[in-house]
A and B are shown apart, each in its own frame.
Chain A
Amino acid sequence: MVSARTLRDVSEQRSDWPRVRLHVVTGKGGTGKSTVAASLALALATEGRNVLLCEVEGRQGIARMFDVDPLPYEERRIATGLPAPGGGSPGHVHALHIDAESALLEYLAMYYKLGRAGRALDRFGVIEFATTIAPGVRDVLLTGKVFEAVQRNARNKKAIRYDAVVLDAPPTGRITQFLNVNNELAGLAKVGPIKSQADTVMTLFRSPRTAVHLVTVLEEMPVQETADGITELRRARLPVGGVIVNHVRPQDLDEEDLEDASGGTLDPDAIRSDLKRAGVDDANGLVDALVAEARDHAERRALEDTQRALVADLGVPTYELPRLAGGIDLGGLYELAAILEQQGFTR
């Protein structure tokens, strides 16, 4: 995806990912991948664009983040996108909670006109078997529905055609296996309709219209896992998108101050007189406390910098989102969306 940035210069488009229709967002547990996926959907839904945000892990995370009722297997409009900086009209974010059972029944009805047989399958426990036990089939169904949303065809006439689809995907450790449905099935179905379905899906996933973005935090294990994830994705010829560094600590101290803080050379008297000027008295050893906090902060910032350098070496566009001390609410999602937009991710 080296071309993404060059392309932006040539065509004067401001987005890093102008050709991408399907944004897959993955990340290690605890890095905030769902939050990033939701923010990205808001950022993309600008200037009248319609965006679909999908989740596939049955957690109803979208409903919680956007404060709406639990989502059914049905596309619902859930939010207005990020207002365009020029004041243009925003677009809309729609959401879809994909579960394998519904996807299978829909698929059977859509492609095989299997209304009655579909129910027979259910009665014999085949639906349950296919979606919970049969290896790989579950992922084929989930990815198949995502594919259908990106590439709407005549079979689904009344459906909205989206300008972009954002997938809140399984975690980094499982993402390649999840997207590489072909491989999963290779040992099972060498021919047959389910195999050709998997082939079509793979064609989209491997095309420049897809980008797999990885969310990480600046800690050793998540960064290592991100690097491993990129290697695996590339090996499977899946298009790697950007790395979104989440939960970045506040940057209130500059290099020099950080050095003083970690070296123990901050001047307590200067701080004390500053505090006095601000009308704060140093009653309970506040100065010592601030100095100790600064040292701890400097230590963590130094560790972050080490990891930041490793992320930079991954050779993909990177973006940074701050840690929001108050936690994430709907307003927080818009805040993060605006930051992604400013950093050139969208538009």
Chain B
Amino acid sequence: MTRSRGRVGPLATPGHRAPDLAVDALLDDRRTGIIVCCGSGGVGKTTASAALALRAAERGRKVVVLTIDPARRLAQSMGIEALDNTPRPVRGVDTANGGSLDAMMLDMKRTFDEVVESQATPEKAKQILENPFYIALSSSFAGTQEYMAMEKLGQIHRDAQRDGSYDLIVVDTPPSRSALDFLDAPERLSSFLDGKFIRLLLAPARGPAKLMSAGFGLMTNALTKILGTQVLRDMQTFVAAFDTLFGGFRQRAQKTFELLQADGTAFLVIAAPEPDALREAAYFVERLSEDRMPLHGLVVNRASPRPQGSMSADEAMAAATRLRKQDPDSLTAGLLRLHADQTRMVEREALLRDRFAAAHPEVPTAVVPALAGDVHDLEGLRRVGELLAEG
């Protein structure tokens, strides 16, 4: 029998500590032109974007923040509760360092309409805007919001390049079902435009189709059976009217994609210290590097604050049990149990972060402790900005 040699020391390599994310250095670097905040829903992405934008502005940058769906009170305090799809100056920003802050909330349908209006002749635009298929597509196409956020980013960037109105654009991304939808949006649009199906729908409008194979007949029959003739007709009209705009759309989508890959862009992945959010974050990190997008770091938001006492959770629970035996209503026992609970939360979160760091050791990370209340004014955003910078 062979005996394996006993191992000495812990099996796991200890201390997977991610490098610190230097937020202020990123904001102060004049070469940073675009910051994209991405992550799954409910992790405080909108608040983080607004806080970064405010901090950059107060440190002297000319900033515009493009948000998707801010909490009502936060939107009010930033003066963007009216949806007019144009950046508006935020009041109450400290401009002593020469910076400024504008904010806008994305109106997806309006952005889409504006693109159509700017690309087509008035009659054609009217025809498209009134088509039932367009109306449904522009307000609920899976991915429209993502695509329009990128479209708006491209627009603002082009304008800013021309007139120098902004030197930093902070973008909040929509809380997508798949957090990556916005990266896919240009491609998905292209595949929609290039799709065989679209070509087939267009075929009748382009004269007698050579494609009238048996398979095609089968397909149109099936579609008519399921959708009814009226839907097919609407789709054909829409596609025919939209056909001329396709090229422009795709070109700009491609430009925006390239803009995102450029050096001036920094992606920040926002997560909460929860398994699901961190799994999404990991997926994001991998996807960004696959697409050669400049990932700058990870922000772990809403972390449980570390308890001050150095007593372990087990010790605290044991002591609490001893006290409860003597006095079931003991206040001190309650305090010890709270301490144990808090310590367990913090330990679990730290473990989750360590595992993330073990898998992605190169990603600089900032940990932002959860505030007791919600953030709904500039003061709150400033506080979050400070915490981000302390990371």
- Our verdict on whether A and B bind, yes or no, reads yes
Q: Which positions in A face B, CB cutoff 8 Å?
A: 28-31, 57-58, 61, 108, 112, 114, 116-118, 120-121, 123-126, 128-129, 132-133, 135-136, 138, 170-171, 173, 177, 184, 187-195, 219-222, 224, 250, 252-254, 257, 266, 270-271, 274-275, 277-280, 284-286, 288-294, 296-297, 299-300, 303, 325-327
Q: Which positions in B face A, CB cutoff 8 Å?
A: 40-43, 69, 71-73, 132-133, 135-137, 139-143, 175, 177-178, 188, 191-192, 195-198, 200, 215-216, 218-219, 221-223, 225-231, 234, 272, 274-277, 305, 307-311, 315, 319-320, 322-323, 326, 329-342, 344-345, 348, 372-374, 376
Given A30-B41, A135-B140, A325-B345: A274 touches B332 (CB 8 Å cut-off): yes
A178 to B234, CA, bound (A): 23
- Supply 5 A–B pairs (Cβ within 8 Å), ascending by A: A191-B230, A250-B337, A291-B335, A293-B339, A325-B342
Given A112-B225, A275-B332: A124 touches B197 (CB 8 Å cut-off): yes
| Contact partners of A274 in chain B: CB under 8 A | 323, 330-333
Q: B230 touching A189 by the CB < 8 A rule?
A: yes
A149 to B277, CA, bound (A): 30
Q: Is the interface of B mostly helix, strand, loop or mixed?
A: helix
| Contact partners of A135 in chain B: CB under 8 A | 133, 136-137, 139-142
Q: Within the complex, which residue of A123, A188, A254, A294 is in contact with B335, where a contact is CB–CB below 8 Å?
A: A294
Q: A271 touching B272 by the CB < 8 A rule?
A: no
Q: Is the interface of A mostly helix, strand, loop or mixed?
A: helix
| Contact partners of A219 in chain B: CB under 8 A | 374
| Contact partners of A117 in chain B: CB under 8 A | 218-219, 221-222
Q: A189 touching B195 by the CB < 8 A rule?
A: no
| Contact partners of B230 in chain A: CB under 8 A | 189-192
Q: Within the complex, which residue of A133, A177, A294 is in contact with B192, where a contact is CB–CB below 8 Å?
A: A133
Q: A290 touching B309 by the CB < 8 A rule?
A: yes
Shortest C-beta distance, B159 to chain A (Å), equals: 30
Given A253-B331, A292-B308, A297-B342, 9 other A-B contacts at CB below 8 A?
Answer: A126-B223, A133-B137, A191-B228, A193-B228, A220-B373, A253-B334, A279-B322, A289-B307, A293-B339
A-B interface, 5 closest residue pairs, ranked by CB to CB distance from nearest: A192-B228, A30-B42, A29-B41, A29-B42, A289-B309
Q: B140 touching A184 by the CB < 8 A rule?
A: yes
Q: B195 touching A128 by the CB < 8 A rule?
A: yes
| Contact partners of B345 in chain A: CB under 8 A | 325
Q: B215 touching A289 by the CB < 8 A rule?
A: no
Given A29-B41, A114-B222: A296 touches B348 (CB 8 Å cut-off): no
Q: A61 touching B276 by the CB < 8 A rule?
A: yes
Q: Within the complex, which residue of A30, A133, A266, A293 is in contact with B307, where a contact is CB–CB below 8 Å?
A: A293
Shortest C-beta distance, A328 to chain B (Å), equals: 8
Q: B222 touching A303 by the CB < 8 A rule?
A: no
Q: Residue on B with the closest CB to A217?
A: B42
Shortest C-beta distance, A35 to chain B (Å), equals: 9
Q: A58 touching B338 by the CB < 8 A rule?
A: no
Q: B274 touching A300 by the CB < 8 A rule?
A: no
Given A135-B136, A326-B344, A327-B275: A279 touches B319 (CB 8 Å cut-off): yes
| Contact partners of A136 in chain B: CB under 8 A | 136, 140
Q: B218 touching A327 by the CB < 8 A rule?
A: no
A278 to B320, CA, bound (A): 8
| Contact partners of A170 in chain B: CB under 8 A | 177
Q: A250 touching B341 by the CB < 8 A rule?
A: yes
Q: Residue on A with the closest CB to B376?
A: A220
Q: Within the complex, which residue of B226, B275, B338 is in contact with A253, where a contact is CB–CB below 8 Å?
A: B338
| Contact partners of B133 in chain A: CB under 8 A | 135, 187-188
Q: A278 touching B309 by the CB < 8 A rule?
A: no
| Contact partners of A254 in chain B: CB under 8 A | 329
Q: A290 touching B339 by the CB < 8 A rule?
A: yes
Q: B196 touching A125 by the CB < 8 A rule?
A: yes
Q: B331 touching A257 by the CB < 8 A rule?
A: yes
Shortest C-beta distance, A239 to chain B (Å), equals: 23
| Contact partners of A132 in chain B: CB under 8 A | 142-143, 188
A136 to B319, CA, bound (A): 58
A108 to B219, CA, bound (A): 12
Shortest C-beta distance, A255 to chain B (Å), equals: 12
Q: Within the complex, which residue of A184, A188, A270 is in contact with B231, where a contact is CB–CB below 8 Å?
A: A188
Shortest C-beta distance, B192 to chain A (Å), equals: 5
A92 to B319, CA, bound (A): 41
Q: Within the complex, which residue of B73, B136, B319, B374 is in contact with A275, where a contact is CB–CB below 8 Å?
A: B319
| Contact partners of B141 in chain A: CB under 8 A | 133, 135
Q: B234 touching A188 by the CB < 8 A rule?
A: yes
A283 to B339, CA, bound (A): 16
A120 to B322, CA, bound (A): 72
Given A129-B192, A184-B140, A190-B230: A120 touches B42 (CB 8 Å cut-off): no
Shortest C-beta distance, A49 to chain B (Å), equals: 28
A293 to B72, CA, bound (A): 31
| Contact partners of B178 in chain A: CB under 8 A | 58
Q: B41 touching A124 by the CB < 8 A rule?
A: no
Shortest C-beta distance, B99 to chain A (Å), equals: 28
Q: Within the complex, which residue of B225, B277, B310, B331 is in contact with A30, where a contact is CB–CB below 8 Å?
A: B277
Q: Within the complex, which residue of A30, A173, A270, A291 is in contact with B69, where a contact is CB–CB below 8 Å?
A: A173
Q: A29 touching B175 by the CB < 8 A rule?
A: yes
| Contact partners of B277 in chain A: CB under 8 A | 30
| Contact partners of A108 in chain B: CB under 8 A | 222, 226
Q: Residue on A with the closest CB to B324?
A: A278
| Contact partners of A116 in chain B: CB under 8 A | 218
Q: Residue on B with the closest CB to A322?
A: B341
Q: B348 touching A171 by the CB < 8 A rule?
A: no
A278 to B325, CA, bound (A): 10
Q: Within the complex, which residue of B228, B341, B373 is in contact with A194, where a contact is CB–CB below 8 Å?
A: B228
Q: Residue on B with the closest CB to A192?
A: B228
A30 to B222, CA, bound (A): 41
Given A293-B308, A296-B372, A326-B344: A250 touches B338 (CB 8 Å cut-off): yes
Q: Residue on A with the closest CB to B272?
A: A30
Q: B319 touching A120 by the CB < 8 A rule?
A: no
Q: A120 touching B219 by the CB < 8 A rule?
A: yes
